[in-house]
Amino acid sequence: MKNKPSNIRLGIFGFGCVGQGLYDVLQTIEQAGIEVAPICVKDKEKPRSLPASAFTYNPQDLLQDESITLFAELISDADEAYSIVKQALVAGKTIVSANKKMLATHLPELIKLQQNYNGTLLYEAAVGGSIPIIRTLESYYSSETLQRVSGILNGSSNYILSKMESEGLSYSLALQQAQKLGFAEADPTLDVGGFDTVNKLSLIAAHAFGVTVKPELILRFGIDVVGEEDLEAAATIEARIRLVAFAEVNPFNELNLHVLPTFVPAQRELYHVVNETNGVTIDPVFAGEQFIKGRGAGSHPTGSAVWADVSAAISGYRYAYRKTKIKTIVLNQDKKITIYLRCPGGASLPEAAWENLVKIQETGEATSFTADISVKELQSIQTDLAANHIFIAQIAAEQAVNIALKLKQKAEVAYS
């Protein structure tokens, strides 16, 4: 390790994409006064960019070292991450984590542990990579009512959709390209299935609205069955399909949450978020709409967010979770939304309480509809829709009318 004037020992778990990113950032900050303890990793055989003496393989070497009170948990194993974070908090220590899955799964317990043992947990890097969304919601907007937060929070899905749209690539080619460039994992399910985004939305809901919701209770559809024809349909109404995390409170303090492919019109900021970039729109009651855009993943952007948390923690910063203490807002999934559906081949729509069901296009290969349905009802038929490879996307009611007209006009031109 580089010799620096040091007074704080930092215990890092994980030296992969994010761990290395944090390490690189620390090397550039000469005055940080941070000494990095041996880094905890798992695989003893893996070639490393640092000498063997820079590593340890037993998390307890760090957790039980009394000279370390500040940790960065940057490992890929959510169960082990949970155990590390829990142990640090019970010891009243400070820990920064990037593990959205672990955080979203255990958030209520992790909040309680901080309160009971006076430890600190920060996790900016877990949502939107380098975008300072959690701290903005938690600190700046802790006293203002927010109406809505919506965003593109998964770089892999956004890259795939952007490339299909701008270069006409098929879904599988765009996915392969994303994997080659390191934007998507070998198993892309967590990204393209919307699971990663739902974990991030669950963390946003806690800080923006004070509601802690288990990720599995949030309506979630991914982009894994999107087709070129869906993007073409969106283009006819000057919209783009994006995987959008959406949280909105109605005047009765009821919160609606979902992660859905969405027809985003050209007037919205999210329309212009392309490739692996992430973007979040915040809609406070008084301040008016705001938008933050930036790198949602990657070694240095994410390492930078971890460093921002480490240095904030050194200055004594912790989340107050002010809105979770007020508890005026409750989750309500009864809201009706309008959706676009494309049923491939002989697949037919499952039985459900559809309203305003309109067939908007029929080709030899697929039939498309628009319809209204409640979030709860859509959740109840999710398995049927997935089994039949039916693509769904949220569409605004006025866009639904427009798309029906535009597709009809297009068909008439084609036949004339």
Active-site residue set: 200
How far apart (Å, rounded) are the C-alpha atoms in residues 127 and 107? Answer: 14
Q: Is 302 in the site for ligand NAP (CB under 6 A)?
A: yes
Site for ligand NAP in 48-87 (CB under 6 A): 74-77, 80
Q: How many CB atoms lie within 10 A of CB 70?
A: 20
Query: Which one of 38, 193, 294, 298 is in contact with ligand NAP (CB under 6 A)?
Result: 298
Instruction: Determine the Cα–Cα distance for residues 51 and 125; give it in Å rounded to an integer.
Output: 27
Beta bridge partners of 362: 367
**DSSP string covering 135-185, please?**
HIIIIITSSS-EEEEEEE--HHHHHHHHHHHHH---HHHHHHHHHHTTSS-
Nearest to 130 by CA among 366, 286, 298: 298
CB of 14 to ligand NAP, least distance (A): 4
Q: Kindly state the smallest distance separating residue 125's Cβ from ligand NAP, in Å.
A: 5
In DSSP terms, 197 is beta-bridged to none
Cβ at position 383, least distance to ligand NAP in Å: 26
Binders of ligand NAP among 93-132, rule CB under 6 A?
98-100, 125-126, 129
Question: Smaller CB distance to ligand NAP: residue 268 or 295?
Answer: 295
Cβ(329)–Cβ(145) under 8 Å? no
Residue nearest to ligand NAP (CB): 16
Residue in 12, 32, 34, 40 binding ligand NAP, rule: CB under 6 A: 40
Task: Choose between 14 and 284: whose C-beta lies nearer to ligand NAP.
Answer: 14
Tokens describing residue 212: 């802690």
Count of residues touching ligand NAP (by CB under 6 A): 26
Based on CB atoms, which residue is closest to ligand NAP, 37 or 237? Answer: 37
- In the block, residue with structure tokens 């919209």: 239
**Closest approach of ligand NAP to the CB of residue 134, in Å:** 12
For the beta carbon of residue 52, count every other beta carbon within 10 angstroms: 8
11, 19, 132, 279: which one binds ligand NAP (CB under 6 A): 19
Residue 385's Cβ-side half-sphere holds a number of Cα atoms within 13 Å equal to 22
In this structure, which long-range contacts are made by residues 179-182, counting pairs with CB atoms below 8 Å and at least 24 apart in sequence? Answer: none
Minimum distance between the CB of residue 347 and ligand NAP, rounded to whole angstroms?
34
Binding-site string for ligand NAP from residue 205 to residue 244, where x marks contact by CB under 6 A and - marks none: ----------------------------------------
Q: With respect to ligand NAP, which residue has the nearer C-beta, 65 or 77? A: 77
Nearer to ligand NAP, 76 or 275 (CB): 76
* Residue 257 CB, nearest approach to ligand NAP (Å): 21
Q: Is 43 a binder of ligand NAP (CB under 6 A)?
A: yes
- Name which of 80 and 269 has its Cβ closer to ligand NAP: 80
User: Bridge partners of 278?
Assistant: 294
Structure tokens at 258: 């979902």
Which of 365, 366, 343 lies closest to 354, judged by CA? Answer: 343
Helix (H, G, I), strand (E, B) or coil at 403: helix
Place of tokens 């309160």: 115
Contact between 189 and ligand NAP per CB under 6 A: no
Residue 118's H or E segment, with its range, is none
**Cross-strand partners of 338:** 372
Q: How far is the CB of 298 from ligand NAP (least distance, A)?
A: 5
Per CB under 6 A, residues contacting ligand NAP are 13-19, 40-43, 46, 74-77, 80, 98-100, 125-126, 129, 297-298, 302
